[in-house]
A and B are shown apart, each in its own frame.
Chain A
Amino acid sequence: MKSLAELSALRDKMRDKIAIREGNSTTRIVVGMATCGIAAGARPVLTAFVDKIAKAGLTDAITVTQTGCIGICQYEPVVEIHEAGKEKVTYVKMTPEKAARVFEEHIQGGKIVAEYTIGDADVKK
């Protein structure tokens, strides 16, 4: 069984790392989590990113945050990728599978998955 004792072991492990964590994140993943996003499937998209980050051991480098409705409800779930020194990229109509691909190709590989970005999804509908 998972227990609070285990959580305290986790704390001790993380305390050691805390100094280097401060302000170290270079990439921020923002997931729209208003009614429109939730209804369209934003929650499993968020979970998919968190899983990928945990599995890749990139918890120090990447943060995941949530935002309200950004006014393009018909394109939800919407995900923005903010990388230091780069323009933000907006992905639309996301799914956990697409999230996995964006994580591998864009965040880890440095190559934007153009077909999921707002411009392309718009044209192809």
Chain B
Amino acid sequence: MKELSLNILDIVQNSISAGAKNIAITLSEDHKGILTLTVADDGRGMDADEVSNVTNPFYTTRTTREVGLGIPLIKLAAEQTGGTFDIKSAIGKGTTLTAIFDTKHIDCLPVGDITATMTTLIMGAPDVDFTLSHTAPGGNVSLSTRMMRDVLGDISLADVEVIQWVREYLTEQYHNFGGAK
């Protein structure tokens, strides 16, 4: 992947596929440039075996078992900066994935276009409630689709005009954002 926002898009698709109704995406950067990403969902969850399998790209191939590349790729992206990757999951409860990046490391991917990731996710799963919280010493960005839904009533969040609003809403917030981009 070219940017972390694409890895995020990819792994949040897993949460959607797992039937999550609520997905919380948080990015928080400290004053040393250490960026912690968490994706927490209330989807179907995985048992201990599944968790250890999905993080190992060599475990098996896609043809014999539906193990893909999304998780190994983000794990690699974190570890190549000296960071860490962890999944906590429980069947029927949900999954929380945590990846820690050192944004000062030469091999750290740019964060990239989080706005495009959010609009893509909302368009693809307009009934899921997403929250985004991106904080850094230089500012913060946030979005809650629940709050949007309260205003919009029965209008779909996938509507192109709504999506354009989300894009402008986040773009304006990112305009003044001081964190790693």
Contacts and interface: CB of A to CB of B under 8 A. Distances in A.
Interface of A: 1-2, 4, 6-8, 10-11, 14-15, 18, 33-36, 38-39, 43-44, 46-47, 50, 53-54, 59, 63-66, 68
Interface residues of B, number: 35
Interface of B: 1, 6, 9-10, 13, 17, 68-70, 73, 113, 116-117, 119-120, 123-124, 147-148, 151-155, 158-165, 168-169, 172
Nearest to A64: B123
A12 to B, nearest CB: 10
Interface of chain A, helix or strand or loop or mixed?
helix
B159 A14 contact: yes
Nearest to A59: B160
B116 A47 contact: yes
Given A2-B168, A10-B165, A43 B116 contact: yes
B155 A66 contact: no
Contacts of A8: 151
B103 to A, nearest CB: 21
